[in-house]
Amino acid sequence: MNLVVTSLFAVEDPSQTHHWLLPETAEIVYGGIASCIIFFGLYKFGWPMIVKSMNARTARIQKELDGAADARSKSETDAAGIRTALGDIESERRKILAEADAQATAIISDGRARLLKEVADLEVKAVADLAAARGRSGEELRGEIARLSSAAISSAVAASLNDRAQQELIESFIKSVGAAK
């Protein structure tokens, strides 16, 4: 009896289990119930939050994709507008260059006409100046020739006449003056 009583009232060692791999049956039952309660609580309260956050994430990503698509279409529209404007700019540039060429041609032709007129005026003035200079130089030359010839005649007459010839000339002049009276 003692033996039986000791085994009935004997306290087993809690570090020892009935199997090396499986825990005690009570631990399995209580752990299973606790796990089911936690999983149910997660499913009941956590799952809607997870679904809600996933839906919000999906909506945010979709919104970003839609915004990117809108931005892309807007940028493509802007690019097409820029390409069209670039074509307009090119035609406008050609038009401005053509106008500038026409103005440059007009300015050049006007400048040439003015230069030709000025050259013609200068030629007329030069011809008149040459004629005046010729007239002045001719008169100066005649005056110089007259002065030099007068001096030459005086010295030639003085050299060619001696005293006797000079006396004869004076007497003949006096006779011709007296005869003329």
- Report yes or no on 172 lying in a domain: no
Residue showing tokens 């230069």? 115
- Report yes or no on 165 lying in a domain: no
Rounded Cα distance between 153 and 94, Å, is 85
- The count of domains in the chain is 1
- Report yes or no on 115 lying in a domain: yes
Tens-place pLDDT, residues 22-78: 888 888 999 999 999 999 999 999 999 999 999 999 999 999 999 999 999 999 999
- Report yes or no on 177 lying in a domain: no
Single pTM value for the model: 0.35
Q: What is the DSSP annotation of 39-91?
A: HHHIIIIIHHHHHHHHHHHHHHHHHHHHHHHHHHHHHHHHHHHHHHHHHHHHH
- Report yes or no on 107 lying in a domain: yes
**Domain encompassing residue 53:** 22-128
Please count the residues of the chain: 181
Rounded Cα distance between 38 and 15, Å, is 27
Give the pLDDT score at 3.
45
Rounded Cα distance between 19 and 22, Å, is 6
- Report yes or no on 33 lying in a domain: yes
Give the pLDDT score at 41.
93
Give the pLDDT score at 4.
45
- Report yes or no on 54 lying in a domain: yes
- pLDDT surpasses 50 at 2: no
Rounded Cα distance between 135 and 137, Å, is 6
Neighbours of 94 (CB within 10 A): 10
Give the pLDDT score at 112.
92
- pLDDT surpasses 90 at 141: no
- pLDDT surpasses 50 at 169: yes
- Report yes or no on 99 lying in a domain: yes
Give the pLDDT score at 35.
96
Q: What is the mean pLDDT of residues 141-159?
A: 80
**Strands, E assignment, the chain:** none
Tens-place pLDDT, residues 104-140: 999 999 999 999 999 999 999 999 988 888 888 888 8
Give the pLDDT score at 9.
57
- pLDDT surpasses 70 at 7: no
